[in-house]
Structure 1
Amino acid sequence: MIIYKQFSFDSAHFLPNVPEGHKCREIHGHTYYLTIFAEGKINNPEGWVVDFGHLKEIVKPVIDMLDHHMLNDISGLENPTAEILSVWIWDKIKPLLPGLIKIELKETPTSGVIYEGI
C-alpha cells in the first residue's frame, strides 16, 4: 500500500548556471508543493502504514530549513533547480523514512519533478 502526505513552502532562488539573460538567472520565488510517498503493509493494531503525524515530524525540520529562505544560501543547493532540490530533500528524509518510495516537488502548478531515489 502507498500513502502520501503533502506539504508546501515558499522559497527564493536564482539559477547561476543558466545563460545570461535567462529569467531564472534573476532572484525570484516559488510556492513549492512537496508530496511524500511511502510504501508498506498495514500495521496492526493501529491499522495504518505510517502515522501521518510521524510523517509530519520527519518532514517538518526539512521544510523549516527551506521555508522563507534563499535556497542558494543552503549548503548543497548553490544551483537549486527543482531536480537538485528534490534530490537534496530525498537525502534528508530517506534515512528517517525507510518506506519512502518517491517524492513529487512542484515548483509551479504546472511544472515539477518526481524523484524515486535513483
Structure 2
Amino acid sequence: MFRITKEFHFSASHQLCHLHQDHPCARLHGHNYIVVVELACDTLDEDGFVLDYNALAPLKRYIDDEMDHRHLNEVFGHDKVTSEWMAQMLYDWCKARWDQTSAVKVSETPKTWAEYRP
C-alpha cells in the first residue's frame, strides 16, 4: 500500500456551547489548526503518484475560503464543531473528490490530534 499525506494550516474560532459553563471550551476561543489528509492506494498512477500533490489545491482553497479566520460555529451552523467532527467532515469532503482518501487528522494544539479513518 502506498500512502501520502499533505498538511494544511488555518486559524479559526469556535465555542462548544453545549458544555458546562465552567469548561474552558464552552468559552469563545481560537486555535491554529493543522489538517493532514492521507491518501492511499495499491498501485501508482501513470506518473508514479498516489495522487499529484497539486491536485489537492481545491482543499487548500476550501480551507482558506471557508474556514480560515472564521468562527466555525457560524460557518457550519451548529455548536459541536469539535476536531473529531471536523476530521470526519473534511474526510467526507475529500473522499467525494479523491477516491484515494484514507484518513484526515485535525490538530487544535501541538499536543492534540483527532483522526477520522473509516
AA aligned to 1:11 is: A
TM-score (norm 1): 0.90
- 1:40-75 residue CA offsets vs partner (Å, 9 max, x unmatched): 22112x2211000102x2312321211100000023
How many residues of Structure 1 are paired with residues of Structure 2 in the alignment? Answer: 115
CA-atom RMSD, angstroms? Answer: 1.3
Give the structure 1 partner of residue 92 of structure 2.
91
Identity of aligned residues (%): 28
* Distance in structure 2 (CA, Å) of the matches to 1:42 and 1:21: 51
8 A Cα contact 2:104 2:115, kept in partner: yes
Give the structure 2 partner of residue 111 of structure 1.
112
Give the structure 1 partner of residue 38 of structure 2.
37
- 1:71-100 residue CA offsets vs partner (Å, 9 max, x unmatched): 000235432111111122122221001000
* Distance in structure 2 (CA, Å) of the matches to 1:3 and 1:13: 29
Q: Does 1:68 align with 2:69?
A: yes
SS of equivalent to 2:84 = helix
AA aligned to 1:58 is: P
AA aligned to 2:44 is: I
Give the structure 2 partner of residue 50 of structure 1.
51
8 A Cα contact 1:104 1:112, kept in partner: yes
AA aligned to 1:91 is: D
Q: 1:26 to 1:60 in 2, by over 3 A?
A: same
* Distance in structure 2 (CA, Å) of the matches to 1:22 and 1:68: 23
Greater shift after overlay, 16-25 or 84-93? 84-93
For structure 1, the residue ranges without an aligned partner over 5 or more in a row are none
* Distance in structure 1 (CA, Å) of the matches to 2:49 and 2:98: 15
Greater shift after overlay, 59-68 or 107-116? 59-68
For structure 2, the residue ranges without an aligned partner over 5 or more in a row are none
